[in-house]
Structure 1
Amino acid sequence: MNVIEVRGVTKKFGNFTALNNINLTVGEGEIYGFIGPNGAGKSTTIRILLGMLKATDGKATIFGKDVWKDAVEIHKRISYVPGDVNLWPTLTGGEVIDILLKLRGNGNSNKRDELLERFDLDPTKKCRAYSKGNRQKVALVAALAQDADLYIFDEPTSGLDPLMERIFQEYVRELSQEGKTVFLSSHILSEVEKLCDKVAIIRQGEIIEEGTLKEMRHLTRMNVIVQTKEPIDGLKEMDGIHHLEKRDKEWHFQVDADKMGSVITHISEFGIIHLESLPPTLEDLFMGFYEGSVLSENKRGNR
């Protein structure tokens, strides 16, 4: 069963098109990564899913219900953390968490206390005294202490230190093991890579790729490090090799996946001492799409 379905959604603000005919599908129990640079349309998409904005065109559903018409019903089953948390300044963090849990009526007080300890958050401080990271912790504790079917996180680790990021990631994995669905919007590629089953890349309001990491990686280059007994000739001229660089006695380069066999055959003639072939990271993947888009735009502009 699909928890989220977005079909042909477009959102315009006057003459500006924030989202252009986007499509995505999130299955039950998936951790779905939604990545792109700032201003790409991630938060606009989430606001449409939450029923805060109405799409100009297209349709979006959660649990099979229309996100605009049935927003109240949908919200009973979801938990949400924004990227920029604003809290009541005169209340303590603990008071804010308790209010949010009481509003939903499905909070777990034991889980709340455990989360406060794990995230190292002092709930007795006034919210106006909190740093950005601590404000984020308040929202995370309130969201994770709720029993929801879908958790939507919009840049959830913004302002958190690496230790707290890791704790957040552990909780997300636990949610997935419990069969919960997670929609994670982020520009932190390593975070998405560690957690997500499926990824969509958005740029300038358009989904430029969607799929599992395995499905997407077959379209990308492999990272290769090689050292040989004899100097390698002809690498620069070979088809499919990119970013060739000599570092001490090693050659570092990227190679298109479908050219790997011919490249290995060529370098083996020079006596391989050391060879590493690494799958591309999500960052390599994202930058490949980004650079490709820039190149395409430059070509159009030069016509």
Structure 2
Amino acid sequence: MAEIVKVKNVKKNFGKFQALSDVTFTVEAGEVVGFIGPNGAGKSTTIRVLLGIINRQAGEATIFGKDVWKDSLEIHKRISYVPGDVALWGSLTGGEIIDLFMKLHGGGDHEKKKYLIRRFELDPKKKAKSYSKGNRQKVGLIAALSVHSDLYIFDEPTSGLDPLMEAVFQEEVEKLKHAGKAILLSSHILSEVERLADRVVIIRKGRIVETGTLKDLRHLTRSTVTVETKKDLSPLAELKGVHDFQQKEGNSAIFSVDAPFINEILLEATKLDVKKFESVPPTLEDLFMRHYEGD
């Protein structure tokens, strides 16, 4: 796949405060990269660097092979961006604002615009000043999805949307991915990232602390095992790789297991006449909290 976004050893200071330190990741065509971290971790600062809004102190940041600061005007012709709080002109209608955004971008697909207005259940005739936060987000999303772009940058895009509209957004992102577009998705909704992302980049205090596919990252933390046997299962508690063993009523227990030991534990459990053995891999939230416990 073609490399669309390249960020390498990017640093950014605000006075004495180091907001970004050696941030490195890529986004390729046809993939969704989930960019996650709590408020203040450096997500929005990184995105502002990519958009050419602020300049970095050091490192390399390119989109389509062009420098994000020097070539920002050229780059913006081929990207769509939706922030977490879309600001609109209150005296214009939603439909007028969508048309304006599309015109500023250089055109777009008006049939797709109509389709998206129906899908997101937006009333385009209402003045923007009467819109709720969720409806303001819909205007930004419809405008961004109605134009032809090669890179889509979403920074908390579903903020204020109800679960039904979140699902609509997720379906549209999957269509973009299948069309070969590159998507950088920053979101607090970890289930959304888990569903959409091919790769995950976790940022903590301005540094990238984890990056990879969910499959890769799941090897770094523990699965949760629930087991029920006919024989006494207490010997399982002594096995290597078993943690937080909790025996329940009868011969049942729940515990966490380091990924490399799951097969060995299953083999030992079969000697106890297994009635139930369930292994649940760690969620993205588990991976996330692994890096933020104690903060």
State the TM-score bracket (shorter-chain normalisation).
Answer: over 0.9
SS at match of 2:234: coil
1:224 aligns with 2:212: no
Counting only pairs closer than 5 Å after superposition, residues 175-214 of structure 1 correspond to structure 2 as: 175-214=176-215
Most deviating of 228-237 and 100-109: 228-237
Residue 278 of structure 2: aligned partner: 276
> Counterparts in 2 of 1:1-303, with a 5 A limit?
1-249=2-250, 250-291=252-293, 294=294
Distance 1:122 1:243 in 2: 52
Alpha-carbon contact 1:38-1:187 (below 8 Å) kept:
no
Q: 1:248 to 1:159 in 2, by over 3 A?
A: farther
What amino acid sits opposite 1:91 in the alignment? Answer: L
Does 40-49 or 267-276 show the bigger shift? Answer: 267-276
Gaps of 5+ in 2: none
- Give 3-state SS (helix, strand or coil) of 1:88's partner: coil
What is the TM-score when the length of structure 1 is the normalising length? Answer: 0.92
| Amino acid of the structure 2 residue aligned with 1:194 | R
Q: After the TM superposition, which of the residue ranges 168-177 and 264-273 deviates more from structure 2?
A: 264-273
Question: SS at 1:17's partner residue?
Answer: strand
Amino acid at match of 1:73: E
Question: Quick one: distance in 2 between partners of 1:89 and 1:216?
Answer: 44
Deviation at 1:59, TM superposition (A): 1.4
Relative to structure 2, which stretch is displaced further, 190-199 or 74-83?
190-199
- Identity, in percent, stands at 57
Displacement after TM superposition at 1:103 (Å): 0.9
Task: Give the length in aligned residue pairs.
Answer: 293
User: CA-to-partner distance for each residue in 1:205-225, whole Å, 9 max, x for gaps?
Assistant: 110011111221222212211
1:96 partner amino acid: I
> What TM-score results when the alignment is normalised by the length of structure 2?
0.95
After TM superposition, the runs of 4+ consecutive aligned structure 1 residues lying more than 4 A away are 246-249
Gaps of 5+ in 1: 298-303
Partners in 1 of 2:246 and 2:91 — Cα distance? 57
CA-atom RMSD in angstroms: 1.5
Shift of 1:172: 0.5
Report deviation, 1:127. 1.1
**TM-aligned CA deviation for residue 246 of structure 1:** 4.2
Q: Is the contact between residue 234 and residue 247 of structure 2 (CA under 8 Å) also seen in structure 1?
A: no
Q: Deviations over 1:151-178 (max 9, x none)?
A: 1000111111111011001100111111
My pick for the range that moved more, 204-213 or 62-71, is: 204-213
Distance 2:285 2:200 in 1: 12
CA distance in 2, matches of 1:242, 1:94: 56
DSSP-derived class of the 1:12 partner: strand
